Chain A
Amino acid sequence: MSSSDLNAPAPVLVNLQLNGEATSVAVPPHWTLLELLRYGLGQTGTKQGCDKGDCGTCTVRIDGEPQLACLTLAVDVRDRSVETIEGLGTGGEPHPLQEAFARLGAAQCGFCTPGMLMSATAYVDDLTLQDNPQVKRDDIAAALAGNLCRCTGYTKILDAVEEVAHSVLNRQRELAESTAEDE
C-alpha cells in the first residue's frame, strides 16, 4: 500500500520492539499491523490469507502471545514486543521447529507456515515454563487450532511440533539434572 491514502489522518510515530530490535516507524492510524509489517516495513514473511481473522495465516507473537496481525491496529503495538517469522531463525541457523518442519515435510506450499510457526513456538515456549510439562498431541492440536493449513492435513505439522517439544523438554531436563549434580 502507498501512504497517500485518501483523506488519511497524519501518520503517528510508533516505537516497538520488532524481533528484538527497537523500531520507530510512522504509520497511518487506520493501518493494521499486517499492513505495517508487509508494506510499511517490507517484512513480507508474515502472510495475508483472509484479512479478517478467519484463517490464522498472519499470526505473529505480541508480547509472546500468538495474535492476528490483520486485526491488530499498528498503533496498538506501541511499546510492545512483536515477533515475526523473520526473527525466528535463518537458513544458516534455523530454529529447531524450522529444521523439523523442513526435514519432516511439514511445510508444503509454505504460506500458512510462518503463522503456524508463531503458534507452534508459543506452544513450545509455554511448555518450558510449566512445572510438570507433558507433551500431548491433543494439546498441540489445540494450540494450532486457529491456523488453517490446506496442504498437509496437519499430520506432519503435528509430528514436527511433537518431536521438537520432546527434544526441548529433554534438553531442559538434562540441563536441570546436570545443574542439580553440580550443586
Chain B
Amino acid sequence: MTAAIKPENASQGRPYAVVGARHGKPDSLDALAGLAKYTDDIALPRMLHAKILRSPHAHARILSIDTSAAEALEGVYAVVVGEEMPTRYGVIPWTPDEQALAADKVRYVGDAVAAVAAISEDVALAACKRIVVAYEVLEPLTTPEAALANPQNKIHESNKHGNITKQVQLAFGDVDGQLAAADLVIEGHYEFHGSTHGALEPHCSLAHVDGRGLLTVWSATQVPHYLHRELAKVLEIPTHKIRVIQPAVGGGFGGKSEPFDLEFVAAKLAMKTGRPVKCLYTREEVFLAHRGRHPFDMHYRTGFTKDGKILAVDGKSVLDGGAYSSFGLVTTYYSGQLLGSPYVFGSYRFDSTRVYTNKPACGPKRGHGSVQPRFAIEVQLDKAARALKIDPIELRRRNFIGENTKTINEFHIGSNGFLECLALVETASDWKAKHAKLPRGRGLGVAGSTYISGTNYCIYPTDLPQSGVQICLDRSGRVRVFAGTSDIGQGSSTMLAVVAAEELGVHLDDVRVVAADSDLCPVDLGSYSSRVTLMAGNACLNAARDLAGKVRQAVAKKWGCEKRDVILADRRAQRLDDPGVWLDITEAFILAEIEFGTMGSTGSYQTPREDVHGEYRGGTIGASPAYSFTAHIAEVSVDEETGEVRVENIWCAHDCGRALSPVLVEGQIEGSVYMGFGETIMEHHHVMPSGLKTDGQRRDTGPGKEGLLAHSSLLDYRMPTTLDTPDLHAGIVEKPDPRGPFGAKEAGEGPLHSVVPAICNAIFDACGVRVDALPVTPAKILAGLRAQRTGGV
C-alpha cells in the first residue's frame, strides 16, 4: 500500500461522528455498478443526433453558408447557423465575445460554423459535409508574439486594444527601491506550456422541449447555473422556461466550467424540430473546446536579503489566450493576485497581458492562472536558496506569512498550516538525509503554494447568496438535501451528506442528495475555483442546524429538559447528561414534525464583504473567504545518458482546514499531484506555430500548417498511465478556518500547484540542470548536461 503520510501530532480521537471519518462516497456504488447515468447514457424517444460543422481555417471571414443540400438529405430534420443565435455570450459577463455558432468570422481551426440534427450521427455527418461555407481566409496569428506585433489584424474586430484581451498592472510597495537594496536578485525567464483537462467523459448535451414549452437541457457541465443563464440569453427565452439538469459527470477539472457550442446547438435544434436532440463531442472536439491551461511567458526578478528574506518580487507575464476570452479576465488577475502568500513579500509588482491568438481558447484548468506564476517564483526561491546556501525548506520558513494576517495585496489570510505542511513532507521524504546528499542522478526538490476556497465575488454582479441548500426530513428518518452543486466526481454530494448527517445525527447512508437540477434545487454557482466545500458546505450547515435545533427542541419538550441537553448522533437523540435516555432518530424527527409541521429548512451562504480585500481596482479578484496551503517534495532520478527524468516519489501535504472526508481529500491530493506531474513531464496541448514574424513578414513555417493542434487524441496527448505515475504520498494538515464549515477549506486544486516546481527543483538537485521552460523533456535535460560539460550555463 502507498501509505498516506500523517503529522506526528495527529490527534487520535475525533470530535465528530461523521466529519473526519474514513468513508468513501456513498453514491459511488451506482457508478461502480455501471448504473450511474451520464449524459450520453440518456436516450429519449424520437431523439435526434446533432453534429457540428467546424472551420478548417484558423482565421477567416465567413462570406456565405449554403445549407440547402444538407437540408435536402433524407433523415435531416433541421440545420442551424450562427445568425439564428446572434447574441454574444461569455462566462464572464464583461467579455461576451463568443457565439454559439460563428456568424461573421472563425477564429481557430475547429470553430463551430453550423449544426445538423438528423436521425443518426451518420446522417448528421453526411449532411455537415454538404454544407457549403465560403471563407475569406485571413492571416492567422498563432503566437502572442505575432498577435501583439500585428494589432491591425484583429482577431476580434470590436476589441479595443489590438489583440490584447486584458492587461493588469498592479504594484504594492517600493519594488524598484527594494530590488536596488537587495543583497541578491534572482532574475529569470520562465515558460509554462499549455495543457488540457483530459476528463475521460467527452462533453455531451441533450435537449428537449416538453408540451408546456419547457426546455430541458441535460449536460455534462460543472456550471449548470451559468449554463442556465447563458441559454436564456442566447436562445432569448426566460430562465423560468428552461430547466438545466446535470447528470453524472465524468470529470471536469475546469474543462466543463462554461457554456459550450453543443449545449446551445442541442437546445436550438430541439426547439426547431420539436424532438429531443443529443450532441456528443468526439475526443478531438474535446481537445478543440479546450479552455485549458494558458501558456505563460514570464519574466521574474526577486530580491532577497542575505538571510533569505524576500524584499521584492517583480513579475511580467504574457498569457496566450487563444481565440476567446473564456475566464481570461480572471486568469489575468490570478496570474499575479494569487502569488501573495504563503510568503511575505516586502514589495510586489506584476504586469500581465493576455493576448488573443487563433487557437482553441484557454481557460481555467485546475489551479486556474496561478500554477504558472507559482512555478516561476518557487524556482526563483530554489535558486536563491542555493545562492545563499540556505536549505530550501528553511528559506521558505523564514518567509512564512503567518495566520490571521494580510498579504501585501491585502487579502485576508485566516488559518494557515503551511509550516505544518512543510514539516510533514520534510519528515516523510527524509529530506534532511537526502536533499543535496544523494548520489548524482538522484535528487529532491521542494515547493509550496496556496489557493483560494472560492472567490468572494460571483462572476456576475449580485448581492444574492453564492450557494443555497434546502433540507427536508421525513418520517422514515431520512434526510433529503437539495442543492445546486455539481458533483463532477470530486464528491460534493458526499460533502453535503457529511455536513447534514453530522448535524442531524444520522448516518451518511441516511442522507439523499438531489443536486444540480434547476427545477428542484436552489442555486449554487458551480464547481469551479474550489468553492463548493466552503460555500455550499456552509449553506448546508445553516439549513441543517436550523432543523437540528427544532428536532432537539421537540425532543427536549418530551423529556422536559432544555434543548441544549439534547444531542443528535448515531441515529439517536441522546440526553447529554444521561446516556441512558435516548430516542431513535426517526422518532425524534416525528416528534419534531408533530411540533412544527413538515420539516424543511433552507440555508444560504454569502461571502464576507468587510475587510477581506483591498480597495483598489481589481482588489476583489482572487479574494477568498479562506486559503488552503500546500507543500510538495518530489524525488527524481535522471538518466544522464538519455536525459530521461523518472519521478519516483511525490510527497504532498495539504492544509484543507478540516478534512470532512479524509479519503476524499486524499483522493483530491493524489489526483492533483498526478495531473501536475503529467503536465510537467509529458503532456502538451500544442498548436502549430504562426508563420508570422514580429515584423509582420512571413517566415519559413517549416512543415505543417499553423493553427493545427499537434496532439488531438488521447494517443498523442500523453496522459500518464499506471506505469508512468510516481508513488504518491498524500498528507492532510488540518488548520480549521473559522470561515469554513467545521473549519474546512479547499482541497481540489491547491495540491496541484507546487508539484511542478518541486519536480524541476528536484531535477536540479539530481543533476544540476535547470529546466525553466516547460515541459521537461529529455532533450532539454541533455542540452543542460552538455552545457554543464562545456562550461555553459
Contact = CB atoms under 8 A, between A and B. Distances in A.
Please determine if A and B sit in direct contact within the complex, based on CB atoms under 8 angstroms apart: yes
A60 B215 CA distance: 36
Contacts of B201: 47, 49, 109, 111
Interface string B35-75: 11110110100000100000000000000000000000001
Given A107-B25, A145-B722, A90 B121 contact: no
Contacts of B32: 94, 98, 101-102, 107, 110, 113, 117
Interface stretch (A126-134, A152-160, A173-181): A152-160
Nearest to B673: A153
Interface string A24-54: 0000000000000011001111111111111
B33 A98 contact: yes
B178 to A, nearest CB: 40
Given A4-B75, A151-B251, A156-B667, A110 B714 contact: no
A109 B33 contact: no
Contacts of A149: 200
B490 A50 contact: no
Given A49-B200, A49-B201, A150-B199, A84 B34 contact: yes
B200 A47 contact: yes
Contacts of B198: 150
Contacts of B253: 150
Contacts of A8: 122
A42 B24 CA distance: 29
Interface string B556-577: 0000000000000000000000
A103 interface: yes
Contacts of B667: 105, 108, 151-152, 156
B707 interface: no
A49 B714 contact: yes
Contacts of A53: 715
Contacts of B49: 1-2
Given A86-B34, A158-B2, A162-B1, A109 B489 contact: yes
A27 B23 CA distance: 43
Interface centre among A6, A57, A145 (most CB of B within 10 A): A6
Given A91-B33, A113-B31, A151-B671, A52 B713 contact: yes
Interface in B662-681: 663-664, 666-667, 670-671, 673-675
Q: How many B residues are at the interface, by size bracket? A: 35 or more
A110 B37 contact: no
A44 B200 contact: no
A149 B2 CA distance: 17
Contacts of B25: 102, 105, 107
Q: How many A residues are at the interface, by size bracket? A: 35 or more
A43 B248 CA distance: 16
B126 interface: yes
A102 B2 contact: no
Nearest to B719: A148
A48 B286 CA distance: 13
A4 B250 contact: no
B249 interface: yes
A144 interface: yes
Contact of A110 (B31, B120, B675, B715): B31
Contacts of A164: none
Given A45-B35, A107-B31, A150-B253, A159 B1 contact: yes
A43 B730 CA distance: 36
B282 interface: yes
Nearest to B488: A109
Contact of A111 (B126, B251, B664): B251
Interface string B488-518: 1111000000000000000000000000000
B578 interface: no
Nearest to A55: B714
Contact of A91 (B35, B120, B252): B35
A75 interface: no
A4 B120 contact: yes
A112 interface: yes
A153 to B, nearest CB: 3
B666 A156 contact: yes
B119 interface: yes
Contacts of A148: 200, 714, 719, 721
B250 A110 contact: yes
A4 B46 CA distance: 13
B719 A150 contact: yes
B421 to A, nearest CB: 18
B719 A110 contact: no
A98 B723 CA distance: 22
A111 B38 contact: yes
Nearest to B41: A44
B126 A145 contact: no
A119 to B, nearest CB: 10
30 contacts: A1-B120, A2-B49, A2-B120, A4-B75, A5-B123, A6-B75, A44-B40, A47-B250, A48-B40, A49-B200, A51-B282, A52-B283, A54-B713, A85-B33, A86-B33, A91-B30, A94-B33, A98-B29, A101-B28, A103-B24, A109-B248, A114-B34, A148-B200, A150-B197, A150-B200, A153-B671, A153-B673, A154-B725, A156-B663, A159-B1
8 closest Cβ pairs, A-B complex: A45-B34, A110-B31, A109-B489, A111-B250, A153-B674, A85-B34, A44-B41, A153-B670
Interface of A: 1-6, 8, 38-39, 42-55, 57, 84-86, 88-91, 94, 98, 101-105, 107-114, 117, 140-142, 144-159, 162-163
Given A2-B49, A91-B30, A94-B32, 20 more contacts: A5-B123, A44-B40, A49-B200, A49-B201, A55-B200, A91-B33, A98-B29, A102-B32, A109-B252, A110-B30, A110-B248, A111-B200, A141-B722, A148-B200, A148-B719, A150-B251, A150-B675, A152-B670, A153-B671, A156-B667
